A and B are shown apart, each in its own frame.
Chain A
Amino acid sequence: MTLRPSPAAAGLALAALIAATTPSPAATASTQATVWSTVAASSSIEFIGTLAGGDFTGRFQRFVAGIAFDPADLAGSRFRVEIDTGSASTADADRDVALAGNDFFAASRWPRATYDASQFAATGPGQYQARGTLTIRGIARDVPVTFAFNPAADGRSAILSGRASVRRLDFGIGQGEWQDTKWLGDEVRIRFELALRK
């Protein structure tokens, strides 16, 4: 299956998630926040790594973002993002092949990285923090994501943009000599912007 951020796939992913995690049907009816579909063409998930002390930016070309979010119903909000680990693109073919390879994402063995969040807190006007679990190469770690939610005036669309920071070695990204952090930094920043539509 090719992962492309499509409204149908996002809806399915989220429906499956809600079905799997909702404790009882009664709870579903009262606590499910607005389910958004993601407009792929105007959405991005980028990562910023450091090589020899300098930053470079890449992006994941294929992902599915299942977003149920309502500022008035944080308890009923959910994120389920699936990223195709073989789709990391950095404008350099050699580096892209290396990233998908066994020393980094090992995309043939672990084709998906996922982020699941169901705990949300407001940190300021329009600002939130999600506490969720990021799973890469089968390794799950708690990773907070800070984001801004900007709904359009008519409430039919919204921009969800935010950032997170991870340590690549926590997930085994960089095996063997690539565990060296002098030339390839441990910290990788993640930056995303999702164009949401009802």
Chain B
Amino acid sequence: MQLRNTTYNYGALAKFLHWAIVILIIAQYVIIEAAEDLPDGIEKLSQISLHKSVGMLVLILAIARVGWKLADRGKPVPVTMPGWQKKAAAASHGLLYLLILLQPLSGWAMSSSANYPVTLFGWFQFPALVAPDHDLHEGLEELHEALFAVLVIVALIHAAAAVYHHFWMKDDTLRRMLPFGRKPDA
């Protein structure tokens, strides 16, 4: 498997970053939903700490994803499709990149605004993004939840488009991003 993108396939690094971020974001939802049902205590604290660490990991992977996208400019040859679909795909990809960066950043700022530390699994501490401020915290909490709702909608459209290409158009749009799916490069 090639690290870089090839004529017909996304490279191993792009695939890894894509799917790692998908899995971690789904895990994030499960972790925080479980935490919200817990009474205040050590278990809730540890669960929220895990959510924050995984969130910072998502941020690091999202930065790597965008950075690698800029570094590895060669993309698989585009699948033939109408112009409006290309524009819609480009717009939703741009929005997804923005959302996977903004979602952890808003969570980080949310913790800072309530004077809670953010670490990467306790290995090291990230600096506070903003000063403690109760009203700002309330606003950021709403923003963090609203961004997640938008992320879910855009990601579902993105996934639906991939499935549509795979089963209806029977092209390689989905296969070229699947972890082990690949088409021989000519």
Count residues of chain A with CB under 8 A from any CB of chain B.
Answer: 21
Verify if A98 is at the interface (C-beta below 8 Å from B): yes
Fill in one digit per residue for A99-110: 1 if any B CB lies within 8 Å of its CB, else 0.
Answer: 000000000000
Query: Interface residues of B: mostly helix, strand, loop or mixed?
Result: loop
How far apart sit A53 and B118, CA to CA, in the bound complex (Å)?
9
CA distance A58 to B116 in the complex (A): 11
Question: Scoring B residues 115 to 141 as 1 if CB is less than 8 Å from chain A, else 0, what string do you get?
Answer: 111110111010000001110000000
B115 interface neighbour in A53, A56, A184, Cβ under 8 Å? A56
Contact B122 A52 (CB under 8 A): yes
CB of B132 within 8 A of CB of A54, answer no
Q: Which of A87-95, A140-148, A161-169 contacts B (4 or more CB under 8 A)?
A: A87-95
Is the CB–CB distance between B49 and A51 below 8 Å?
yes
Contact with A along B30-60 (1 / 0, CB 8 A): 0000000000111001100100100000000
Q: Shortest CB–CB separation between residue B140 and chain A, in angstroms?
A: 13
User: Chain A's nearest CB lies how many Å from the CB of B18?
Assistant: 29
Complex interface residues of chain A between 17 and 63 (CB less than 8 A to chain B): 50-58
A56 touches B117 (CB 8 A): yes
Alpha-carbon distance A180/B134, docked complex (angstroms): 28
Complex formed: what's the CA distance from A94 to B132 in Å?
14
A51 contacts B42, CB within 8 Å?
no
Secondary structure type dominating chain A contacts:
mixed
User: A171 within 8 Å of B by Cβ?
Assistant: no
A92, B114: Cβ atoms closer than 8 Å: yes
With both chains docked as a complex, state the minimum distance between the C-beta of A29 and any C-beta of chain B, in angstroms.
48
Whole-angstrom distance between the Cβ of B54 and the nearest chain A Cβ: 12
Within 8 A of A (CB), among B97-117: 114-117
B91 to chain A, nearest CB (A): 37
Contacting residues of chain A (54-94) with chain B, CB-CB under 8 angstroms: 54-58, 90-94
**In the complex, how many angstroms separate the beta carbon of A28 from the nearest chain B beta carbon?**
45
Q: Is the CB of A92 within 8 A of B45?
A: no
List of B residues within 8 angstroms of A56 by Cβ: 115-117
Given known contacts A54-B122, A177-B42, A180-B42, A90 and B49 CB-to-CB distance under 8 angstroms: no
Whether B41 lies near A177 (C-beta < 8 A) is yes
Contact of A91 among B115, B118, B122 (CB under 8 A): B115
Interface of A with B (CB < 8 Å)? 50-58, 90-94, 98, 177-178, 180, 182-184
A-B pairs, 10 with minimum CB distance: A54-B117, A53-B122, A91-B132, A52-B49, A91-B115, A54-B119, A54-B125, A177-B42, A92-B114, A53-B119
